[in-house]
Structures are given as structure tokens and as C-alpha cells.
Amino acid sequence: MTYDVVRPTRNPNGAVVLFMVSGGWVSIWAPPETIVRPEQRNLNLFEK
């Protein structure tokens, strides 16, 4: 996975936009519950 970080030059408001694209030809849907909430620290966001 690769990503770009774009930071505002002035007046940041804390908003975040995530746009994810599969690296393969076909993506598999998964329920949102399989993603760990970000507030749970020291965990990979993709661990179940």
C-alpha cells in the first residue's frame, strides 16, 4: 500500500479524507466491523 500525505498550508481544521484503492484487479467486500477502531492504540488498523 502506498499513500500520500497532503497537509494544508494554513488553517488546518483536523478533517481527514481517506481514499483507498485495491492493488489487484478485484476487491473483496468486508463488513466495517472487521476494522479495529483507531482509538484502540498499538494495533494495526487492519487487524481483526
- Cell (9 digits) for 17: 479524507
pLDDT at 33: 64
Q: Give the number of domains in the chain.
A: 1
pLDDT at 8: 83
Structural domain including 34 reads 1-48
pLDDT at 42: 60
Distance CA 22, CA 28 (A): 9
State the 10-residue block means of pLDDT for the chain, 48 residues long: 76 80 67 61 55
- Residue 32 in 3-state DSSP? helix
pLDDT at 1: 61
pLDDT at 47: 54
